[in-house]
Amino acid sequence: MADKKLFYITDDKKKMGDLSGRYSKKWVEESLYLDNFGISPPSSKRNHLGVSISKKIINLFLLIIFFGVSIILGRIFYLQVIKGSDYRILAEGNRIRMRPISAERGIIYDNHARQLVQNVPSFSLNIVPRDLPSDSDKREMVLQKVAAMVGMSYQQIIDLLRQYQSYSYESLVVKENLDHTTALRLYLQNTDLPGVAIESGTKRNYINTGFINSGILGVTSTALSFSHLLGYVGKLNINDLHLLQSDGYFSSDDIGKTGLEKQYEKSLRGQYGRQKIEVDAMGRAQNVLAEDPPIPGQNLYLTIDAEAQAVFETIISKRLGELGLKRAAGVALDPETGAVLALVSLPTFDNNDFSGGISKINYQKYLNDINKPLFNRVIGGSYPSGSTIKPVIAAAALEEKIITKNTAINSVGSIQVGKWTFRDWKIGGHGITNVTKAIAWSVNSFFYYIGGGYGNFVGLGAEKLIKYLLLFNLGQITGVDLPGEQDGFVPSPTWKEETKNEAWYVGDTYNLSIGQGELLVTPIQLAMWTSAFANGGKIIVPHLADYFQNAVNKQINKLNFPIKKKNLVSQSTMDVVRQGMRECVLTGSCQLLKTLPFTTAGKTGTAQWVNNKAPHAWFTSFAPYDNPRIVVSILVEEGTEGSTAAMPIARDFLKWWGAKYLK
């Protein structure tokens, strides 16, 4: 038998040389038995390979793999099975969308069904932020092109997107009120601009129809004073959107901003429809898959007579021109129901300037106008009442038994309290004066007596004066259905002490008794308390809206304006005050109305407000005297005297009214 040699091959580099490099980090043992030309193990003739990884480590490794695979499979199950429908909807959202369909806004008519507004086709350039390119360079390129198309700066577009960043899924209006030619040109330009689209809709157009006032004025009026009544619609601002989004409003929506458009926004707006559409990669509509049609807004019918409005505006404008003045207000209403026939505030504005958006330059012109044409003086202007308050003071004194119908004082031109002199407007006074004469001739001395007392005569005093002023709704809004009404102001001793840190003096009571001092009223309030004397003691709510009509089924919804107060004072008190207002026309300061072919009653007023400017001129009246159907109240700012500035306006309007309504 040949010699046998035994070799041990280990991982020792010194013994194994190159063979050990591969296993330098592990322990490996091989035993080889070399026999002549063959190699075999010493006894079993098998190779043995040993590795130093324990079974425990291998099991731990397999467990980790198992848990990892389980987590992956669980996540796949969650995404595909549990949340699969949700993600399917999100995926569909990239292709299928719900688009709102705006409803046709309700039309507004006057009391003879004359149309005062119309909805005309309009186009706008819009951006849907989520459809803009995600790549910043491409996005900037698109926005730069949009800015150039509409004449805006790139930064303006960026600011718009930032302002509405929470509404990236909505269509944002970049440029509105585009004419058809411009819209078509922009449509062709933006065909390759993702996220940019031309949207069609409607805008509000206000009809300032003229009337030929034949036989009375012989002129045509455009009745721009309707702007204060109707108001206008405009785009929602970001604050509006935050408040109204839950009510179904969108960033591209119009909303009533002022006037009746704002007051009755919900009814005029209608209900949006929905359209399910398929869009392409650029967000453009390709197919309409389903549609729920919108419900148009209700049509609003007013108590306003458009012709009366035009005539009233023309008469006031003409009188202002003769006086060289700019500012006045007037209201004519039914004293029994509160239905407003005409309401004029001058100067006025054109609400079509605001429909579809107004430029900053034009808006600043309105804001910078010293005559404040955007301001509705009838409901928002607060002025000293002047002598128009005297019927209320007389009613208070009669009701509190301070005086009777026959109580008289001697008016000598003034009364003296300490070092203070309180004057009548007529030098030398009016002589012996009872309550009806005091109303007819607006005798200050009489109202000083009954308001604050004099000598041994005990007057009402501040507390009772304030009680009756509040009873006749002074210092409170009338509730007229126009936004922006002011409540005026009735001063009191408490207010003066807290605000001015001054005591209340008898002079304050005297001033309050004749409508001077801190007392402030609005023209609509004057019409309200005049109505109380015309209707026998009721405080009514002035209103311009009469009823709504459903645009589809023509069903009518009559609006209800309940009486606020009844039986303010006794009928005997009411009769005496009414007689004084009638004597104002027959023998007093209102005799200009005697030329009318029907009976009237009235009261003039002159209200001082600052020392270096002319007083405001007031006049209020009702007619016919025995069966009142109309109250007309006028204010002419800085008109000096009610009898010369304001009363001629009422006379001319009542003449027109009688010819039309008392046939």
pLDDT in tens, 593-636: 999 999 999 999 999 988 889 999 999 999 999 999 999 999 99
CATH of residue 148's domain is 3.90.1310.10
| Token pair listed for 212 | 């030929």
The phi, psi pair for 510, rounded to 5°, reads -60, -45
pLDDT at 21: 47
Asked, for residue 421, whether it belongs to a domain, the answer is yes
Number of domain units in the chain: 3
| Token pair listed for 264 | 């009755």
Closest C-alpha among 596, 614, 615 to residue 604: 615
Angstrom distance (rounded) from CA 309 to CA 342 = 5
Say yes or no: 280 and 356 in one domain.
Answer: no
Asked, for residue 16, whether it belongs to a domain, the answer is no
Say yes or no: 154 and 282 in one domain.
Answer: yes
pLDDT at 285: 66
Say yes or no: 252 and 320 in one domain.
Answer: no
- Kindly state the average pLDDT of the residues 150-159: 88
Report the range of poorest mean pLDDT among 414-423, 435-444, 457-466.
Answer: 414-423
| Token pair listed for 485 | 């009404």
Whether 189 contacts 142, CB under 8 Å: no
What dihedral angle (degrees, nearest 10) is formed by the CA atoms of 463, 464, 465, 466? 60
List all residues 6 or more positions away from 574 whose beta carbon is below 8 Å from its beta carbon: 395, 533, 536, 537
Asked, for residue 417, whether it belongs to a domain, the answer is yes
Using pLDDT thresholds of 50, 70 and 90, give the confidence band for residue 209: low
The boundaries of the domain holding residue 236 are 96-297
Say yes or no: 86 and 103 in one domain.
Answer: no
Q: What is the pLDDT of residues 38-90, one digit of tens each?
A: 444 554 444 544 556 677 787 777 788 888 888 888 777 776 777 666 555 54
Say yes or no: 71 and 184 in one domain.
Answer: no
What is the overall mean pLDDT for the chain?
A: 87
Tell me the three-class secondary structure of 333-381, residue by residue: ECCCCCEEEEEEEECCCCHHHCCCCCCHHHHHHHHHCCCCCCCCHHHHC
Asked, for residue 280, whether it belongs to a domain, the answer is yes
Cis peptide before 523 (omega within 30 of 0): no
pLDDT value at 1 more than 50: no
Say yes or no: 135 and 282 in one domain.
Answer: yes
In DSSP notation, 13-67 reads: HHHHGGGGGGGTTS---EEEEEETTEEE-SSS----------HHHHHHHHHHHHH
Q: Is 365 left (phi over 0), alpha (psi -120 to 50) or beta?
A: alpha
Say yes or no: 276 and 381 in one domain.
Answer: no
Asked, for residue 613, whether it belongs to a domain, the answer is yes
Closest C-alpha among 412, 416, 519 to residue 465: 519
Say yes or no: 146 and 129 in one domain.
Answer: yes
pLDDT at 274: 80
Closest C-alpha among 294, 296, 291 to residue 267: 296
Say yes or no: 66 and 127 in one domain.
Answer: no
The phi, psi pair for 292, rounded to 5°, reads -110, 115
Report which DSSP code applies to 167. Answer: G
- Kindly state the average pLDDT of the residues 444-458: 96
For 103, how many CA atoms within 13 A lie in the half-sphere containing its CB?
Answer: 25
The phi, psi pair for 402, rounded to 5°, reads -65, -35
Note the pTM of the prediction, 2 decimals.
Answer: 0.82
Closest C-alpha among 551, 496, 542, 587 to residue 107: 551
- Kindly state the average pLDDT of the residues 263-277: 87
pLDDT at 84: 65
CA distances in angstroms from 269 to 111, 296, 353, listed in the order given: 21, 7, 21
Between vectors from CA 153 to CA 151 and to CA 159, what angle results, nearest 5°? 125
Report which DSSP code applies to 591. Answer: G
| Token pair listed for 445 | 């001395």
Task: Give residue for tokens 């996005």.
Answer: 139
Q: Is 512 left (phi over 0), alpha (psi -120 to 50) or beta?
A: alpha
Q: What is the pLDDT of residues 456-497, one digit of tens each?
A: 999 999 999 999 999 999 999 999 999 999 999 999 999 999
Whether 130 contacts 184, CB under 8 Å: no
Asked, for residue 125, whether it belongs to a domain, the answer is yes
Whether 300 contacts 109, CB under 8 Å: yes
What is the three-class DSSP state of 84? helix
Report the range of poorest mean pLDDT among 272-276, 528-532, 540-544.
Answer: 272-276
Angstrom distance (rounded) from CA 220 to CA 381 = 28
Say yes or no: 100 and 84 in one domain.
Answer: no
Cross-strand pairs, 620? 603, 633
Closest C-alpha among 297, 399, 333 to residue 111: 333
Say yes or no: 585 and 519 in one domain.
Answer: yes
For 481, how many CA atoms within 13 A lie in the half-sphere containing its CB?
Answer: 24
Report the range of poorest mean pLDDT among 137-146, 174-183, 485-494, 652-661.
Answer: 174-183
Of 274, 297, 320, which closes a domain? 297
Asked, for residue 17, whether it belongs to a domain, the answer is no
Handedness of CA 44, 46, 52, 57 (dihedral sign): negative
Of 297, 322, 354, which closes a domain? 297
- The strand pair at 108-109 and 299-302 is best described as parallel
Angstrom distance (rounded) from CA 648 to CA 639 = 12
CATH of residue 343's domain is 3.40.710.10
Of 297, 330, 345, which closes a domain? 297
Buried b (16+ CB within 10 A) or exposed e, 146-164: bbebbebeeeebeebbeeb
Say yes or no: 268 and 406 in one domain.
Answer: no
pLDDT value at 33 more than 70: no
Asked, for residue 303, whether it belongs to a domain, the answer is no
Task: Give residue for tokens 């990236």.
Answer: 168
